[in-house]
Structure 1
Amino acid sequence: MFKMTALALALATAMVGSAFAGDQYVDKTGFAVSGYDVVSYFDLPQSKVGQPQQQPLPGQASVTADYKGATFAFATEANRDRFLADPAAFVPQYDGHCAYGVAKGGKVPGNPTLWRIVDGKLYLNITKNVVGFWEEDISGNLKKSEKNWGGLEPQAASSDKIPSFTSAAPVSN
């Protein structure tokens, strides 16, 4: 299902880690992270492993910034300003793809409501079941993800059917 092309393999050999993988994943909302405010994740308390996380704030369509080929929406101008000061500190790892999927060698969209911050970095997963698998060995899965990431196809996530989830597309003003 997740084939590496010869070009991707050649490029992966020449490049290291997260230096290569493609643009930020954008879903049908037209926004990265389904329009959730990526800064808001860092202001929420983290739940214990095995417990669901709180919901991040939905962004507003009128408060946005572009980064890595995608438009990010923010709940407030203050959050947008924090983002603009250091975008890489806030964007989800693996360009918004599922961290466990990357550990397994593929690119599938991350669900922005299934998240965890590890060592100051935001990671998304695709389903509640996948969160369980990922959380069984977060550090081991992150090692696998980092090893795999540079060798994955640069195109955005697979167009294969994925489980649906509720999106919080930005609120229009």
Structure 2
Amino acid sequence: MIRREMIKLSKLLLPLIMAFAIVGCTSLSNKPIYNDQGYAVTGYDVVAYFTENKAIKGSTDFQAEYQGSQWLFASKEHLAQFKQSPERYAPQYGGYCAYAMSSGFVVSSDPQAFTVYQDKLYLNYSLSVRENWLENKAQFIQEADEYWQQKVTKN
């Protein structure tokens, strides 16, 4: 019984441990929104996650500034939707990995590893980390929300 629980735990933690070993953790002190390549969510259109249910690269033709970051969109319509309600479309935890955040770590994310759940966008470090996160997302969200509120928003 204990061995089975240990195997299950290692299956959940291994992708996260690998992520930390490969890229390490990031500091939030000057980056409340995850930026890569100069754009929030690595330049992917956050509205498309909700309207198309897929990751679509944005265009520099359609961009907006929000929370100190540049956001790209695939169309003028998506840009307008975002400008109307950016907090609705912005990813949880500033776009950092939701699974890592649940353990109190700040780790980059992959725009392809996304989930829209209860009308909120969550990103994960990788597709394999996302699969583990999905197994118990309600608990991980609760834990990540607590960490985000206690540690991150106080900076």
TM-score bracket relative to the smaller structure:
0.7 to 0.9
Q: In structure 1, what is the equivalent of residue 91 of structure 2? A: 92
Q: Is the 8 A contact 2:44 2:56 kept in 1?
A: yes
Instruction: Say whether 1:23 aligns with 2:69.
Output: no
% of aligned pairs identical?
A: 30
Q: TM-score, normalised on structure 1?
A: 0.68
Instruction: Say whether 1:57 aligns with 2:56.
Output: yes
Q: In structure 1, what is the equivalent of residue 45 of structure 2? A: 37
Q: Is the 8 A contact 1:107 1:152 kept in 2?
A: no
In 1, Cα distance between equivalents of 2:115 and 2:51: 12
In the TM superposition, structure 1's runs of 4+ consecutive aligned residues that sit over 3 Å from their partners are: 151-154
- Map Cα deviations across residues 22-50 of structure 1 (whole Å, 9 max, x no partner): 521111x11101111100000124xxxxx
Q: Is the helix fraction higher in 1 or 2?
A: 2
- Structure 2 residue ranges without an equivalent (≥5): 1-23
Q: TM-score, normalised on structure 2?
A: 0.76
Q: Is the 8 A contact 1:23 1:70 kept in 2?
A: no
Q: Is the 8 A contact 2:112 2:127 kept in 1?
A: no
In 1, Cα distance between equivalents of 2:118 and 2:94: 17
Question: Number of paired residues?
Answer: 129
Residues 152/106 of structure 1: CA separation in 2 closer, same or farther (3 Å cut): farther
In 2, Cα distance between equivalents of 1:39 and 1:126: 20
- Structure 1 residue ranges without an equivalent (≥5): 9-20, 46-54, 155-173
Q: Is the strand fraction higher in 1 or 2?
A: 2
